[in-house]
Structure 1
Amino acid sequence: MTRTPIYYIVVVMTVVLGMSSCIEPPLHLPGQNLDFVMPQVETEMDVVWDVDVDMETDWYYGWDLKDDSIWGYIGYERPSSYEVHRYYKGDDPKAKHTTDEAFSIRGNRFRRYFQFGYYDMLFYSDIDSKDGTQVLVMHEELDSVTATTTGTRGISRSIVDRSRANDKDGSSAIGLLNQPEIFFGAYPENIFISHDLADYEYDPVENVYIKHLETKLRPLVYIYLVQFILYNNEDGKIKGINGNAALSSMASSTNVNTGHTGNKPALIYFNTRMKKGLTVKGRKSDVIGGKLTTFGLCDNEPYTRSGAKYMGSRAALRNFLYYDLVWKDGQVKTYEFDVTDQCRAQAHGGILTVWVDCDKLTPPDPVNQGTGSLFIPTVEDYDEVFWEIEI
């Protein structure tokens, strides 16, 4: 599993046109001005991968072909196409965006004519939804783009209420949301296209002047691998699972330009599988596992090499994993486990582990059979989600 930053080299290539005479580049002195016709600029994205999660020491569930067929590749995959937004600001680098030129590109190269002056550019990768049911939603404004997801329908409101009760600052989860698809973004600002050849590097092969910029293509959705280690279950008191699980107090949105996550918490629903009879630290155990994608923790900065821990201000928010277990008599009960410290130590993805001693589990209430799971819906029990996008 690869957790990045993903570095992304942007090469701006300016083609010199309309020169009054042919002058060899060595004769151009630094700072000398020439008259250009509209320059042609090319951006070229080079994705560099690094930073791996230790899959040998900390991950016990494994990842077989069936897992791959259900949830896909366990890590981040290289994007193949992008949406590009180009904002021209004229001669003022502090100017607000007044126009938005949007383009779709395949591959890692973008070539268009640019006017002289300042530009901001927003790149984000297209979503490759295998079943065609994309849940990621882009709310586009001139100065920022915010990513959210659709709400999960058919899940009981009671699990949302339980999550709200666990938030000590009284924050209210806006609902239970689908996992966002993985995508990446970069936002280089104040790209200056000048008349001055001293700002460029000459390429004698292509007979063009090239301006090199460097920015970072960041993952805007992070991967958590979640595992529940069930031990002392030799008598089979826990016979299985129904696959339902959710992680609370995760960000319900992210700013695509900056990578900073929103401060409205939500539960993120995900599915799990059980593998029986595995050996974990020399002990026979049943292991429940799954892959969760999320925008990350609320009010948190994007991933950097030096800042991988939680940097947000929502200190009172607690992260709980909710999961269903099926007892040998067929009854289902939802359990919870506080993973706040694990999430903050791995604020941009990683492995979350819950150790479950089956001898200490409180069984379902035998009087109220069939009501133990918080994931069982009724028609009138849907939770409405209202978005308030902060620009």
Structure 2
Amino acid sequence: MKRLHIIYITVIMLSLASCIEPPLHLPGQELAVDLQVAQTELNVVWDNEVQLEHEWYYGWDLKDDSIWGHIGYPTPTRYEVRRYYKGDNPLGMHTNLDAFTTNTSRFRRYFQFGYYDMLFYSDIDSEDGTQVLVMNETPDSVIATTTGTRGISRSILNMSRANSGDSTGVIGLLNQPEIFYAAYTENVYISSDLNDYEYDPVENIYIKHLEAKLRPLVYIYLVQFILYNNEDGKITGVNGNAALSSMASATNVNTGHTSSTPAVVYFNTRMKKNQVVDGQACDVIGGKLTTFGLCDNEPYTRSGSTYSGSRGNLKNYLYYDLVWNNGQVKTYDFEVTDQCLAQAHGGILTVKIDCSKLTPPESEESGSGSLFVPTVEDYDEVFWEIEI
């Protein structure tokens, strides 16, 4: 049984009553614990299963894996840590920041007595070694955005803005962010009073327990276009270009809340011919999309993954290019707002296409041609600033 999972990682912070230095480890590994040391444990928990065999018709073969990587969520192996020391004031500002990277599954650092806010986020593992995620740090928070990708034709950008109900807000085409996880814990109190700690007679140390969850802040959508009535071969293939509109352009790593500014996120597709879906012959186009999720939304919780924000009249559209048997390319769009709202933190998006009803491209038709290869005259260069 194939399943798509969202990873949860439970962080247990064990803090000592003196200057302390915590190791970070994964389950099954032995701890190297010294006296008067704080321990931090990470336990991976899987949740939010998607039954792929019932909903996912495109499949995922070795070629897909070689192009886009594994279909699921990877397990992190390295972490960034941000410790915000606030002294004796739990409401204090983040004026004292300690930032470091743990290259293994355990870390050690000394703590002062007082209050801390602590941020953990996992390593960024780019398939080709070129990271598109950009972390913008301030004393109060870390905001994750991505780089922009190739130009988008003015006609398609205008179409996206019209479909989203916002004539100016859509900021253009963004790359897919790499998957990462984060946890933010506030007001960790490191006390000098031994009564605040639990004594471990085996290790002869005093420990304090703090639990937090590393949650994914980038979600996976599996996208499939099912082409019926294409027996005459009018649709010969795809050029790989596709995009999903009205997705969040950034996320707050500390809180997991997404930006209210919508963006169009680019992804690639591949066509598999002569498939069978529900007993009917068809061709299937598929691809994998990673995104911060819907605009102005909270992170995933076990209570559900439906949308909980306030997005106004934003609508989500899939844009995709089809190649006709005369060699011409035309961009089509399909609204998937309801599917996105029901799967606000990733899932399967399905578009069913009756090829007998498709309007073929004409050379003089407005909107014909590739979605992402504009002419110089048709290019819309977009600049933006991300705020949350």
Same fold (TM over 0.5): yes
d(CA) in 2 for partners of 1:211, 1:152: 46
Residues 40, 114 of structure 1: 8 Å contact kept: no
Relative distance call for 1:373 and 1:96 in structure 2 (3 A) is same
Task: Give the number of the structure whose alpha-carbon radius of gyration is greater.
Answer: 1
Deviation at 1:263, TM superposition (A): 0.4
Out of 256, 274, 297, which is 1:300 matched to?
Answer: 297
Deviation at 1:382, TM superposition (A): 4.4
d(CA) in 1 for partners of 2:44, 2:154: 42
Residues 248, 319 of structure 1: 8 Å contact kept: yes
Residues 5, 216 of structure 1: 8 Å contact kept: no
Q: How does 1:29-108 map to 2 (within 5 A)?
A: 40-108=37-105
Is 1:190 the counterpart of 2:187 in the alignment?
Answer: yes
d(CA) in 2 for partners of 1:179, 1:301: 19
SS at match of 1:247: strand
Is 1:7 the counterpart of 2:1 in the alignment?
Answer: no
d(CA) in 1 for partners of 2:70, 2:379: 31
Question: 1:61 is aligned with what amino acid?
Answer: Y
SS at match of 1:161: helix
Alpha-carbon RMSD = 2.0
Q: Which moved more, 1:189-198 or 1:44-53?
A: 44-53
Residues 249, 319 of structure 1: 8 Å contact kept: yes
Relative distance call for 1:190 and 1:382 in structure 2 (3 A) is farther
Out of 255, 259, 262, which is 1:258 matched to?
Answer: 255
SS at match of 1:315: coil
Residue 343 (structure 2) aligns with: 346
Deviation at 1:214, TM superposition (A): 0.8
Out of 106, 110, 115, which is 2:107 matched to?
Answer: 110
SS at match of 1:354: strand
Question: 1:181 is aligned with what amino acid?
Answer: E
Out of 218, 236, 239, which is 2:236 matched to?
Answer: 239
SS at match of 1:189: strand
Deviation at 1:195, TM superposition (A): 1.5
Residue 363 (structure 1) aligns with: 360
SS at match of 1:84: strand
TM-score normalised by structure 2 residue count: 0.91
Q: Which moved more, 1:240-249 or 1:308-317?
A: 308-317
Residues 154, 378 of structure 1: 8 Å contact kept: no
d(CA) in 1 for partners of 2:321, 2:352: 14
Deviation at 1:107, TM superposition (A): 3.2
Structure 1 unaligned residues grouped into runs of 5+: 18-38
d(CA) in 2 for partners of 1:130, 1:367: 39
TM-score normalised by structure 1 residue count: 0.90
Residues 16, 208 of structure 1: 8 Å contact kept: no
Deviation at 1:212, TM superposition (A): 1.0
Relative distance call for 1:146 and 1:285 in structure 2 (3 A) is same
Relative distance call for 1:389 and 1:366 in structure 2 (3 A) is closer
